[in-house]
Structure 1
Amino acid sequence: MTKLHGGKILAQRLAMHGVERVFSVPGESFLAALDGLHDADIPNIVCRQEGGAAMMAEAHGKMTGQPGVLFVTRGPGATNASAGLHIAMHDATPMVCFVGQIPLKHRDRGVFQEVDYRAFFGPLVKWVAEVERTDRLAEYIDRAFAIAQSGRPGPVVLALPEDILSAMTDPPATRPGARAMPSVHPDMIAPFAQMLRQAERPLIICGGSHWSDTDRQSAEALAERTGAPIGVTFRRQDYINNDHPNYAGDFGVGMNPALGARLAESDCILLLGAELNDITTGDFTLLDPAKAPAILQVHPDADAISKTYPATYAVAAPPSAILHQLIEAIGEHTGDKGAAEARAGYEAWQEPQPTPGDVQMEHVIAWLRDHASPDTIITNGAGNYAAFLHRYYRFRQYGTQVAPTSGSMGYCLPAAVSAKLQNPQSPVICLAGDGCLQMTIQELSTARQYGADITVIVANNGRYGTIRMHQEKNYPGRVSGTDLFNPDYATLAKAYGGTGHTITSNEQFADAYTATLNGGLHIIELKLDPKMLATTKSL
């Protein structure tokens, strides 16, 4: 039997797990892995900084439900990647990060770029391990993929010592094992159905990371059958067609006050993968745990059940395991139980409220809502600019919103590159603030290298808008640390072989966006009034 070095075993194992592409910043610590990938039919997307690479891998996991795969080198490479791993942990995204490590023979000597990865990554990820035998490499990889996808999904880190990765060993004799399929006994469905039928003010909330277009259709059918309003958690707006008559909005940052009041007044809440956390409940002010309504909780992780609010009935399973049976158990349509009123409140909330300046975010987002194709994918990071997207846009297809529930800045551009590589036929918009974009702006080079034709819409108000808003509220007239210098974005686009568009009035946006649909890299700079985002109190 021909022996293989660890890098080739690694590449073969990734292929067995169905990995479509990996994201990396190369390092000498994992040259054997790069050698293994040379012969594998797995594209290696080489990025410009490990934080951007990690965010691309996380976005891939978020879109596909399969672990995004990342390769980074030891020391600063690994620590740079921590931002993306934090997003994956917070957002329950499956992800496997391989870190090149110092040679095992030199461990604990404080050699060049040595880091104790168990100590460093332990609080950030679901599991972290270091492979110490080449003949057990496949075993560790299989376990990493299993843990990343089990229960509440999340990131896993495997440290690969350089000498272990380059050593020769026999190919593994086993293949990856099967994963258990979730199931729910019919007897567990009955109390769910009974409480939903009896409720006068029911509410359905969808969230989490276990979701699909089939789940979307089933959840919408359940809302129709029960007559209940249906909403989504923060940055999961594409889980339900926003045009559906039962759709009531999102329980996110800056939520519709009318929707928050409906949550507070509900007598039965069905949580489909969602969690009643600080964002969903307005910092725990909308619901009192001691006086909570009936809560029906469906979540893949048993540890998430009754975490803050006590569930009345619960099942530890993904929503897909219960939805079809629950629809059947509900039986006949129970009539409208607040859906029409909630829908009217949502549509009223979407009426644009004017903000200062000749270029207005509410106008731009409303135009995109009414003119962008339903398959358009929109990515964003963090900042007040995103609140306009949450409030005024409508997501009509599952898989078209890619954003961090962790509120991480810099996510928008790497996620857009990953989204375009995964969905080359769909238009992809990177919606960014000027501060958010500049955190990972170097990934424009990655976009061009791999032909990811994206449209970047940058909201330029010359400041960290969210921080300035809070600063002016708490320390009026004492501006400190929130002003920004910006490049000429139109010229920057040309430097990357793309096209730049500078928007100084609302009327210019439609033509600029239409021009981006012909392919290529485009940056549309929105010249905003600096007061626009810092004084917007309802967003």
Structure 2
Amino acid sequence: MDGTTKGTARGRTGGQLLADALVAQGVTHAFHVPGESFLDLLDGLYNVQNRIELTTCRFEAGAVHMAEAHGKLTGNPGVAIVTRGPGACHASIGVHVAMQDSTPLVLIVGQIPFAETDRDTFQEVDYRRMFSPLAKWVTQIDDARRIPELMARAFDVARSGRPGPVVVAISEEMQKQVVEVKDIGPAPTLPAFPAPHAIPRLLELLDGAKQPVLVLGGTGWSDEGKAAIRDFALAHDLPVAVGFRRLGLFDGTSANFVGDLGVGSDPGLVARVKESDLVIAVGTRLGEATSQGYTLFPEGETSPIVQVHPDPAEIGRVFRPLLGITADLNAFAVALKAAAPGKPRPWGEWTKKLRAGREASVAAPEYEGPLNFARALQALEKELPEDTIFTVDAGNFATWPQRFMSVREKQEFLGPTNGAMGYSVPSGIGAAITYRGRQVISFVGDGGFLMTGQEIATAFQAEVAPIVIVVNNGQYGTIRMYQERHYPGRVSGTLLKNPDFARFVEAFGGHGEVVTATDELVPAYQRARASGKPAIIEVRMSAEQITNRQTVTQIRAAAAKA
């Protein structure tokens, strides 16, 4: 819906106005856990059920992760609705994910009756104070006449600049008010193009480089934008890396793809980026994980970086670039491709060197025991549809698919850059609901699954069939790794007692599998997919193989020498 004002004023309740405001903003999906604080909004959504698919979830964190996945995949703000007090507190982790991941999101929170403010009434929370460090903007609607204005503003803020979450509290009695106001649709806004001299200056710097690297990150990329930056990189034979958990931005099978920068990155790639004489960072904030703990470049001095970002406040936030370019990422990519046709470049051997490092890194090592998870994943990769959507949780297990699988051009990869456990299962369900018919593979550890794994019930209710691969090593593996590095042999508070995950999903009527050997994963996937049901494949890993590069014994030996 375009234009700023649509519809004819007529008497509607605040709840109806809120539902109509979502329609006016182009919302097609919303995720919620019902609460008495927004009964009138639910009633309003009943009237627009042919316009907005409302998914009922089991836990507020799960609902917001589903909405966040929708925002990541579509570029339009995901919408979650939760009740006041405990509901909002449960939802807060999803807001934090959206903030650090730069995902457009609108969280609507039912609020106490306005007349009871500051009485410490049932479930009272001041959401402006609670969410202000976590969100781009927090507001509260106490007058139904302002619903179109404030809801339009919420979506504008969520989408603009560096995208992110907005929280809108809706007081209870306001939803019952009957007022006459017009709906307001999105403002027709053109993307920000790079300044006239920006691209010529970038190309001048590139002409003087001998060992350049293109690093892609951020959100809001369109198919056109990704294709344009791909074509530019290939035309100029640039080595391309992606930021932490941004593997969906560039074809991992391309001869120019050299790996990802983040947790568990190839040490060789990190060393090469430090040697680079020009890093073109497009979309990435060069945050803590991507910059390897802020060690890629020296702090406090100008570094060989061209940083492109839609929010000028993010340019030079930590590292001082040679050149900062404020622009919409897709507009920048299209303009760059148009301005710079390919020509012979002197760094062909440099690109081949970095690609060779990537190929060496993904070669599956020999691991002890019947399960070589690396080889199993690489066999699985060949079976997956070309438009598969991957989601990952936080934890050491995630470094296995991130290292050993190549995300292809038409595939998507969603992961929480803030390291939120419990993300993968609900985000996978949200992805499956957003794009029905596409295969979704959700990787999660045994610890993370039992944080939000109950949302598998939502998959049955929504009639989607994601496949969840639970990597079970009976422990909080990342924390155990750090324990062994700093307190070797003194295992405290990290071991887990788990259920039979395959039987867990079977209790819902789903499909369950257990994998203990390398050649079992592909047949298990084939049966899971053929079932047409939500499925769990439990991969039973050795607790000794704590990372894909080290065993517990090796970590202890290294700690003893330190």
TM-score (norm 1): 0.97
Partners of 1:119 and 1:257 lie apart in 2 by: 42
Deviation at 1:85, TM superposition (A): 0.4
The one of 396, 400, 406 equivalent to 1:394 is 406
Deviation at 1:239, TM superposition (A): 0.2
Partners of 2:373 and 2:28 lie apart in 1 by: 36
The one of 43, 56, 62 equivalent to 1:35 is 43
Offset from partner CA, 1:38-89 (integer Å, 9 cap, x none): 0102111010000111111111101110000010000000000001000000
Structure 1 residue 345 and structure 2 residue 353: aligned?
A: no
1:169-180 aligned within 5 A: 169-172=179-182, 174-180=184-190
Deviation at 1:367, TM superposition (A): 1.6
Range that drifts further, 61-70 or 162-171: 162-171
Change (3 A) 1:195 1:334: farther
- 1:129 aligns to what SS in structure 2? strand
- Letter in structure 2 aligned against 1:251: L
**Alpha-carbon contact 1:300-1:316 (below 8 Å) kept:** yes
Range that drifts further, 273-282 or 456-465: 273-282
Change (3 A) 1:82 1:75: same
Match of 1:140 in 2: 150
The one of 519, 537, 546 equivalent to 1:524 is 537
- Letter in structure 1 aligned against 2:105: M
The one of 183, 188, 193 equivalent to 1:183 is 193
1:422-441 aligned within 5 A: 422-441=434-453
Match of 2:224 in 1: 214
The one of 490, 494, 512 equivalent to 2:524 is 512
**Alpha-carbon contact 1:224-1:333 (below 8 Å) kept:** no
Deviation at 1:100, TM superposition (A): 0.3
Structure 1 residue 83 and structure 2 residue 96: aligned?
A: no
Change (3 A) 1:223 1:174: closer
Match of 1:453 in 2: 465
Partners of 1:374 and 1:383 lie apart in 2 by: 26
1:97-246 aligned within 5 A: 97-172=107-182, 174-246=184-256
Match of 1:264 in 2: 274
Deviation at 1:398, TM superposition (A): 4.5
Change (3 A) 1:344 1:534: closer
**Alpha-carbon contact 1:357-1:528 (below 8 Å) kept:** no
Partners of 2:374 and 2:544 lie apart in 1 by: 14
Range that drifts further, 205-214 or 290-299: 290-299
**Alpha-carbon contact 2:68-2:104 (below 8 Å) kept:** yes
Change (3 A) 1:285 1:174: closer
Range that drifts further, 203-212 or 68-77: 203-212
The one of 14, 19, 30 equivalent to 2:27 is 19
Partners of 1:188 and 1:503 lie apart in 2 by: 53
Deviation at 1:173, TM superposition (A): 5.8
Range that drifts further, 208-217 or 453-462: 208-217
Partners of 1:527 and 1:174 lie apart in 2 by: 53
Deviation at 1:318, TM superposition (A): 2.0
Change (3 A) 1:94 1:453: same
- Letter in structure 2 aligned against 1:177: A
Offset from partner CA, 1:298-324 (integer Å, 9 cap, x none): 100010011111121222112222223
**Alpha-carbon contact 2:232-2:342 (below 8 Å) kept:** no
Report the identity percentage. 39
**Alpha-carbon contact 1:234-1:252 (below 8 Å) kept:** yes
Deviation at 1:174, TM superposition (A): 4.6
The one of 85, 88, 95 equivalent to 2:105 is 95
The one of 8, 27, 38 equivalent to 2:16 is 8
Offset from partner CA, 1:111-162 (integer Å, 9 cap, x none): 0000011110011100001112110011110000000011000000010000
- 1:429 aligns to what SS in structure 2? strand
Deviation at 1:456, TM superposition (A): 1.1
Partners of 1:501 and 1:488 lie apart in 2 by: 10
- Letter in structure 2 aligned against 1:441: G
Offset from partner CA, 1:432-490 (integer Å, 9 cap, x none): 11001110011011111111101111111111111111111111111111111111112
Deviation at 1:181, TM superposition (A): 2.5
- 1:189 aligns to what SS in structure 2? helix
Range that drifts further, 279-288 or 266-275: 279-288
The one of 532, 550, 562 equivalent to 1:537 is 550
The one of 67, 71, 76 equivalent to 1:61 is 71
- Letter in structure 2 aligned against 1:142: A
**Alpha-carbon contact 2:191-2:331 (below 8 Å) kept:** no
**Alpha-carbon contact 2:85-2:124 (below 8 Å) kept:** yes
Match of 1:313 in 2: 323
Which sections of structure 2, spanning at least 5 residues, go unmatched? 1-8, 556-562
Deviation at 1:261, TM superposition (A): 1.2
- Letter in structure 2 aligned against 1:454: P
**Alpha-carbon contact 1:197-1:226 (below 8 Å) kept:** no
**Alpha-carbon contact 1:457-1:525 (below 8 Å) kept:** yes
- 2:381 aligns to what SS in structure 1? helix
Partners of 1:472 and 1:231 lie apart in 2 by: 31
Count the aligned residue pairs.
Answer: 539
- Letter in structure 2 aligned against 1:528: M
- 1:69 aligns to what SS in structure 2? strand
**Alpha-carbon contact 1:361-1:385 (below 8 Å) kept:** no
Deviation at 1:535, TM superposition (A): 8.1
Offset from partner CA, 1:220-276 (integer Å, 9 cap, x none): 221123222111001101100111111111111111112111111111111111122
Partners of 1:426 and 1:273 lie apart in 2 by: 27
Structure 1 residue 493 and structure 2 residue 501: aligned?
A: no
Match of 1:48 in 2: 58
Offset from partner CA, 1:2-46 (integer Å, 9 cap, x none): 411011111111111111110000000000000000010211101
Range that drifts further, 172-181 or 155-164: 172-181
Structure 1 residue 464 and structure 2 residue 464: aligned?
A: no
Partners of 1:365 and 1:428 lie apart in 2 by: 15
Partners of 1:45 and 1:515 lie apart in 2 by: 27
Structure 1 residue 442 and structure 2 residue 454: aligned?
A: yes
Partners of 2:341 and 2:436 lie apart in 1 by: 42
- 1:531 aligns to what SS in structure 2? coil
Partners of 2:372 and 2:500 lie apart in 1 by: 20
**Alpha-carbon contact 1:196-1:226 (below 8 Å) kept:** no
- 1:3 aligns to what SS in structure 2? strand
Partners of 2:184 and 2:297 lie apart in 1 by: 51
- 1:157 aligns to what SS in structure 2? strand
Change (3 A) 1:174 1:16: closer
Match of 2:390 in 1: 378
- Letter in structure 2 aligned against 1:54: V
Partners of 2:263 and 2:125 lie apart in 1 by: 36
- 2:437 aligns to what SS in structure 1? coil
- Letter in structure 2 aligned against 1:484: L
Deviation at 1:527, TM superposition (A): 1.5
Partners of 1:296 and 1:158 lie apart in 2 by: 36
Partners of 1:292 and 1:111 lie apart in 2 by: 53
Deviation at 1:329, TM superposition (A): 3.2
Deviation at 1:533, TM superposition (A): 2.0
Change (3 A) 1:285 1:446: same
- Letter in structure 1 aligned against 2:390: I
